[in-house]
Amino acid sequence: MTMARIIFHIDMDAFFAAIEELDNPALRGKPVVVGADPKGGRGRGVVSTANYEARKYGIRSAMPISEAYRRCPDAVFLPVRGERYHQVSRQIMSLLKEYTPLVEPVSIDEAYLDMTHSPKLFGPPEEVAREIKRRIRETTGGLTASVGVGPNKLVAKIASDLQKPDGLVIVPEDQVRQFLWPLPIGHLWGVGKRTEPVLEGMGIRTIGDLARYPQDELVRRFGSWGYQLWELAQGRDDRPVTPVWKAKSISQEKTFESDVDDPEVMDATILELADGVTRQLRDEGVQGRTITLKIRLEDFSTFTRSQSLEVPTDRFADISRIALELFHRFDRRGQKVRLLGVGMSNFERGMKQLTFLDQLGDRDDRVDRVIDLVRKKFGESAIRRAITTAGRRPKRRGGS
């Protein structure tokens, strides 16, 4: 078997509302509701976050804002400032990444960390958890997080919820059952308002009741989901912590020294740019799905045209073909072109569809790789696709 894992679940307390209090200390101690405009009780949106003061009035996330208003008209209602929350979120996530590369953000204010291999570096989990909480507070200027630590995501998530706000609950592997089994069944991942009464009707009130229920019976009633539920009730959850990388884009552009009207030169430039993008993709080991062409005309009007592929690619053939198609479909209304750009985005960084084309002797891919290699060794201009030199080809002498 694999060694026991150590999973942290970090959950910021009333995140949006806490940031509002941070930015405006006068709000402290007052009920604060971040969400849609209540419009004096006639608003139609919902609550994003309520601070703990507001929760005393029964105000919860996702509740209609009109109901929140009815429950506490004197609360401070604030609009969602997404940009600001994202900024704080980024600070926190990058802090977490100092402890392990295996950080899986679940949402803007919540993340799992796989700390299995970290104790050697940072000390025992409890110490690390306290340190993370302290550093989040310091870095953000006062926000608190609740941390749950367990041998898997299920346990860590439940643990982080138990002593909110500013909580810390650590569940060692050998205490998972004592921890889980007394809890009401609703704590279990996947058991919601609809299944809870069904399970209660079967005499299952706690996670322990479910764990002791015959597995066959659950499978018979609920299919494979019943099997999963039972596994979870045993405290078993194999879901890996999977880090994700934020997508960015890779692009190259070229401004012509003088505005261009010759389609051949433009085609050649697009191929050259596509070639550059291909190379950068390969250097970074990523593949993208969306190819974007940027065109600036002589009057400085700028356009972008994009097309997405079904399967991510880092191949010159795909990128150049689509960039050219986009260009040929673009109507420049007789204007000359000032700038062209080719870009790639929509990455699944860290994900690459493997193929056996190399083994099949696929020519095209191999050419791309050879070009990259030659360039690395001998420099940029050592090798060029014949087709990209079109614009530079000396004019063929006519007749003389």
Which residue from 95, 247, 383, 390 is in contact with another protein, where contact means CB under 8 A?
247
293, amino acid identity: L
Whether cis (ω within 30° of 0) applies to the bond prior to 64 is: no
359 lies in the site for another protein, by CB under 8 A = yes
| Closer by beta carbon to another protein, 73 or else 101 | 101
Q: Which of 121, 198, 244, 373 is in the footprint of another protein by CB under 8 A? A: 244
Q: How far is the CB of 230 from another protein (least distance, A)?
A: 10
Is 82 a residue that touches another protein (CB under 8 A)? Answer: no
Other beta carbons within 10 angstroms of residue 121's beta carbon come to 10
Stretch that binds another protein, among 27-35, 80-88, 104-112, 371-379 (CB under 8 A): 104-112
Task: Return the closest-CA partner of residue 371 out of 359, 358, 382, 355.
Answer: 382
Reduce the DSSP state of residue 222 to 3 states and report it: helix
| Cβ(226)–Cβ(218) below 8 Å | yes
Q: How far apart are CA 297 and CA 315, in angstroms?
A: 28
- The amino acid present at 7, given as its one-letter code, is I
- In the complex, least distance from residue 6 CB atom to another protein, rounded to whole angstroms: 9
- How many Å apart are CA 109 and CA 49, to the nearest integer? 11
Whose Cβ is closer to another protein: residue 78's or residue 281's? 281
Residue choice 258, 353, 381, 400 for contact with another protein (CB under 8 A): 353
Pick the catalytic residue from 110, 131, 284, 310: 110
Q: Which of residues 287-346 bind another protein (CB under 8 A)?
A: 289, 308, 310-311, 317-318, 346
Q: Which two tokens stand for residue 261?
A: 């009207």
* Side-chain half-sphere exposure of 117, counting CA atoms within 13 A: 6
62 lies in the binding site for another protein (CB under 8 A)? no
Site for another protein in 364-393 (CB under 8 A): 364
Beta strands in 178-319 (DSSP E): 250-260, 288-297, 302-313
Q: Which is nearer to another protein, 111 or 147 (CB)?
A: 111
Structure tokens at 53: 């003061």
Q: Choose, by CB under 8 A, the member of 2, 258, 381, 400 that binds another protein.
A: 2
Segment contacting another protein by CB under 8 A, of 17-25, 27-35, 157-165, 285-293: 285-293
Query: Per CB under 8 A, which of residues 116..175 are in contact with another protein?
Result: 116-117
The contacts of residue 387 (CB under 8 Å, 6+ apart) are 268, 271
- E strand segments, 51-102: 76-78
Amino acid identity, residue 56?
K
Q: Is-catalytic flag, 110?
A: yes
Give the residues lining the site for another protein (CB under 8 A). Answer: 1-3, 5, 101-102, 105-107, 114, 116-117, 219, 223-225, 227-228, 231, 238-245, 247, 285-286, 289, 308, 310-311, 317-318, 346, 348-357, 359-362, 364
